Amino acid sequence: MRGSSRIRPNAALVVGGVLTAILIATALLSLVWTPEVPTRVHIALRLKGPLEAGLLGTDHFGRDVVSLLMVGAWNSLAIAWPAVLLGAAIGTAIGTAAAAWKGIADEIAMRVSDVVFAFPAVLSAVMIGALVGSGPLAAVLAIAVFNVPVFARVARGVALQVWTLDYIAAARALGKHPLRITWEDVMPNIAGALIVQVTIQLALAILTEAGLSYLGLGVRPPNPSWGRMLSDAQTYLSQAPHLAIAPGIAIALSVLGLNLLGDGLRDALDPTLRGRSAAAA
């Protein structure tokens, strides 16, 4: 809520920013270039170790692991981004409305968000998968649903503070409509908190997407995904243990990068919040 928006760089911000930039660059690069065609089956070259064929070897179809990982980065973001943005949009609308009108509307919004919070994302995906068929759509919807209460709470919490400020009271006294106050005065003030939360939720969304595609509830084969690669790797664990390593590292580094970036942004935007990161996961 302070006027100063100067960003002070810190270690988490730099490391997280670099890791996230690598993730996004890899995903974008995979659209125009991969070392091999990621879907090309090459049975003669199946289950090769690292450097025997390609940098990280090949899977049970003889597909190049590096190429699969690169396309996997794109597929992971292609599910995580829309899911988090959808959840953030709906959640923020609910949260700011609850803060603007309070009373019974607030009570209902928070009760409903408690209800949604009781469903683990994987369980929502099972339920939504039963409804619309399991696939990318079910994965996006399940992750979005899980994000709605998270953003509703964050937006409501910060918006409630903003509503107590003197100049908002003045605006109300002048007869400014709550919707205009929310849009013109509240939103700019909660934007920082929302950006931080989006970053952290993206990390969680990538983790969830990996879990869903491990179960076969995400991106459909032959389209590669990190979770799918791990579930394939499990089948060939004794023959080709290296297949179980790289996709897991890719997931962990992506999640770590986004989490660090979120923490770093939080500290940089508002040093008074330092050390209060905790419960977001």
Partner 1 sequence: MLRLVISRLVSLVVTLIFVSLAIFLILEVLPGDPAAIMLGTAAREDTLAALRQELGLDRPALVRYVAWIVGILQGDLGTSITYKMPVSTLVAERMAVTLPLSLLAILISTALALPLGVAAAARRDGAVDRGVLVFSQLGVAVPNFWIGLLFILFFSTWLGWFPAGGFPGWDAGFWPALQALLLPAVALALPQAAVLTRVTRSATLEVIGADFVRTARAKGVDKSATLRRHVVPNALIPVTTILGLQLSFFFGGAILVENVFNLPGLGRLAYQALNQRDLVVIKDIVLIFSGIVIVVNFLVDIGYALLDPRLRSRA
Q: 121 is written with which tokens?
A: 């994302």
Exposure string for 137-176, b = 16+ CB within 10 A, e = fewer:
ebbbbbbbbbbbbbbbbbbbebbbebbeeeebeebeeeee
Q: Which of 10, 214, 261, 262 binds partner 1 (CB under 8 A)?
A: 214
Q: Is 210 exposed, middle or buried (0-12, 13-18, 19+ CB in 10 A)?
A: buried
- CB 248, min distance to partner 1, A: 4
For partner 1, what does the binding mask look like between residues 243 and 272, x meaning CB under 8 A? -x--xx--xxx-xx--xx------------
Tell me: does residue 79 bind partner 1 (CB under 8 A): no
- CB 247, min distance to partner 1, A: 8
Task: Name the one residue in this structure whose structure tokens are 């988090």.
Answer: 84
Contact at 8 Å (CB) between 146 and 208? yes
Could you tell me which stretch among 31-39, 46-54, 173-181, 204-212 binds partner 1 (CB under 8 A)? 204-212
160 or 253: whose CB is closer to partner 1? 253
- CB 143, min distance to partner 1, A: 12
175 or 275: whose CB is closer to partner 1? 275
Tell me: does residue 56 bind partner 1 (CB under 8 A): no
- CA-wise closest residue to 16 among 224, 243, 256: 256
Interacting positions 94-123 with partner 1 (CB under 8 A): 111-112, 114-115, 117-123
Tell me: does residue 37 bind partner 1 (CB under 8 A): no
Contact at 8 Å (CB) between 75 and 225? yes
Give 54's contacts (C-beta < 8 A, 6+ positions apart): 35, 36, 48, 64, 65, 66, 67
Binding positions for partner 1, rule: CB under 8 A: 111-112, 114-115, 117-123, 126-131, 134, 203, 207, 210-211, 214-215, 217, 227, 230, 233-234, 237-238, 241, 244, 247-248, 251-253, 255-256, 259-260, 275-279, 281
